[in-house]
Amino acid sequence: MSETRTDRDAKTGRGAHSAATLSFSFDGRRLIGRDGDTVAASLLANGVTVCRETPVSGAPRAPYCLMGVCFECLVVIDGVGNRQGCMVPLRDGMTIETQHGRRQPEETQG
């Protein structure tokens, strides 16, 4: 999906529910998300087009199924890699990063 428009007009009625906004970071950028959205949905809503690079060829990938089946939306959340962004509810203060290919041994300290 390209940048996803949050349709706040009468069409979807979004905005009628004043869900709390959450603050999180993606690759160091501060972003705002809606409480109740998943990590993958929040990234899409913020116009993030790529969430990982494949371990095989380094090709860019983005969420594909949004229902836990395809494992394309894998991201690093609070330092833990291979998290399915579409299955993880967004939390305030989350640090989310693009997952670059394979996990390297030096990343697993801690």
Partner 1 sequence: MKPLTDIDQLAEHYDLAIVGAGPAGLSAAARASELGLAVLLVDENPAPGGQIYRSITTTPVSDRAVLGADYWRGRDIVARLKRSAAAYAARCTVWSIAPDVESDASPFEIGLSLDGRARLISAGQVILATGAQERPFPIPGWTLPGVMTAGAAQIALKSSAIVPKGRTVIAGCGPLLYLLAGQLAAAGAEIVAVLDTTPRRNWRAALAALPDFLRSPYLAKGLKLMAKARRSLRFLGGVTSLAVEGSDRLSAIRFERGGASESLACDTLLLHQGVIPSVNLSNAAGCAHDFDPVQHCWVPQLDDWFASSVPGIAIAGDGAGIGGAESAALRGEVAALDTARRLGRITIPERDDQAAPIRAALGRTLRGRRFLDLLYKPAAQFLAPIVDDTIICRCEEVTAGQVRDAAKRLGVTGPNQMKAFLRCGMGPCQGRLCGPTVVELIAEARGTTPAEVGYYRLRPPVKPVTLAELASLPQSEAAVKAVVR
The binding site for partner 1 (CB under 8 A) comprises 1-7, 9-14, 16-17, 19, 34, 36-38, 41, 44-45, 47, 49-50, 54, 56-57, 59-72, 74, 82, 87, 89
**Do residues 12 and 4 make contact, with C-beta atoms less than 8 angstroms apart?**
no
Provide, rounded to whole angstroms, the least separation between the CB of residue 13 and partner 1: 3
Shorter beta-carbon distance to partner 1: residue 32 or 65: 65
Closer residue to partner 1 in complex, CB, 26/34: 34
Cβ 27 to partner 1 shortest distance, Å:
15
Say which residues have a Cβ less than 8 Å from residue 35's Cβ, sequence separation at least 6: 19, 20, 21, 22, 90, 92
Nearer to partner 1, 17 or 30 (CB): 17
- What's at 59, amino acid-wise? A
Q: Are 63 and 2 in contact (CB under 8 A)?
A: no
Which one, 4 or 97, has the nearer CB to partner 1?
A: 4
Q: Find, among 19, 37, 27, 42, the residue nearest to 95 by Cα.
A: 27
